[in-house]
Amino acid sequence: MAKELEKFKAEHKKLAAGTKKFTTAEGDKIKKRIGISLGNAWEGEDYFRESLAKARADGVTSGKLADFQKNKHFKDGMTTWNKAVDIHQEEVSAMTAFCGEAKAHLAKMSKLAADIGKDLKKRSKTSDSKKDIEALQDALDKEMAGVKKASEYEGKLNAMQKLYAANFQKNVAKILKEKPDSHDKKLDATELPQLLVDRNLKKYTNQVGLLVKAINTHCGAAIDKAGQDLKAAVPDLKAAAAKFKDLKKINDQYQTVQKKFPRAIEDSKDKKKLLATLKKFNDLTAAAERKLRGTTVTIKKAAA
């Protein structure tokens, strides 16, 4: 009866590569990529709206797509958005393929599990191979549970993620019908402004941290170098000033959003987190400004 055990082990080994491939970790990676690609597509849509406004400024007054496509700004915006949408669809298709392949793999695992189950039912309690086959059955059951979860990841996508690309042409037509002055004023009351969306907030939080660190590093280096050679401190001082300019730009954007859209922040379930982050940006910018000003004054005094 050891022959059956070896057969089951061999079949299990054949499935091992696929079992390692179809994991929730891999599903998470694809889902994360879909979130990023959708964000990029949204940014492409914003760029398309800007290109539409530029085309109108160039004198295109028609509401027909064919007339707008003759304008270079519009064509650029349309092409950029379309590419971002295509990339997003590729990621969604990758998720569909992943889940389909995981389900097919799960079917093979289920067949092996059924064969093992049948064998154990007819196997005597005194069989030398029984415990080993039961151990294999337990391992297979755990692996099947993981693959099953992975195969269901497509169901974790929301309607926007699934259908954004499919609705591309409809969205183009819809935007073309909007009033010319609506593109700057329109705000979807159900969503926070783009800068406050979690993906952007994380991105800029990371950037702010890196900029503050760079400013402090350059200021420290400038002070150290000024003690030996004032001219040697200039590059670091200029670098710190450039980094501060970038930091201030980010902070200014967020403070403007806070002033323009207080209701959106107030109604957000992440209100406390948003307000804390905006305050942190403001505090870090103020501290960086003091650091840069203090460093500059110190070096100027040393040069006097």
pLDDT value at residue 142: 94
Distant-in-sequence, close-in-space partners of 143: CB < 8 Å, separation ≥ 6:
19, 109
299: nearest Cα among 243, 238, 244: 238
Q: Is 117 exposed, middle or buried (0-12, 13-18, 19+ CB in 10 A)?
A: exposed
pLDDT value at residue 191: 41
Identify the structural domains of the chain with CATH numbers, from first to last.
2-185 (no CATH), 194-303 (1.10.132)
Query: 64 by DSSP, 3-state: which?
Result: coil
Other C-beta atoms within 10 Å of 291: how many? 18
Give the integer Cα–Cα distance in Å for 96 and 201: 29
Distant-in-sequence, close-in-space partners of 145: CB < 8 Å, separation ≥ 6:
none
Give the integer Cα–Cα distance in Å for 206 and 159: 29
Give the integer Cα–Cα distance in Å for 288 and 207: 14
Give the integer Cα–Cα distance in Å for 8 and 26: 27
Q: What is the pLDDT along the chain (304 residues), one digit of tens a residue?
A: 568 888 988 999 999 988 999 999 999 999 999 988 988 888 888 888 888 888 888 888 877 888 888 899 889 989 999 999 999 999 999 999 999 999 999 999 999 999 888 888 888 877 888 888 889 999 999 999 999 999 999 999 988 899 999 999 999 988 888 776 654 444 333 345 677 877 788 889 999 999 999 999 999 999 998 888 888 999 999 999 999 999 999 999 898 888 877 877 887 778 888 899 999 999 999 999 999 999 999 888 877 6
pLDDT value at residue 187: 38
Query: 69 by DSSP, 3-state: which?
Result: coil
Give the integer Cα–Cα distance in Å for 279 and 23: 39
Both tokens of 177, joined, read 């019908």
281: nearest Cα among 214, 215, 201, 180: 201
What DSSP assignment string belongs to 118-139?
Answer: HHHHHS-TT-TTHHHHHHHHHH
What DSSP assignment string belongs to 208-272?
Answer: HHHHHHHHHHHHHHHHHHHTT-HHHHHHHHHHHHHHHHHHHHHHHHHHHHHHH-HHHHHH-TTHH
pLDDT value at residue 122: 86
Distant-in-sequence, close-in-space partners of 271: CB < 8 Å, separation ≥ 6:
265
What DSSP assignment string belongs to 163-217?
Answer: HTTTTHHHHHHHHHHS-TTHHHH---TTS--GGGSHHHHHHHHHHHHHHHHHHHH
Distant-in-sequence, close-in-space partners of 208: CB < 8 Å, separation ≥ 6:
247, 250, 251, 280, 281, 284
pLDDT value at residue 101: 96
Structural contact between residues 1 and 128, judged by C-beta atoms closer than 8 angstroms: yes
pLDDT value at residue 186: 41
Structural contact between residues 164 and 85, judged by C-beta atoms closer than 8 angstroms: yes
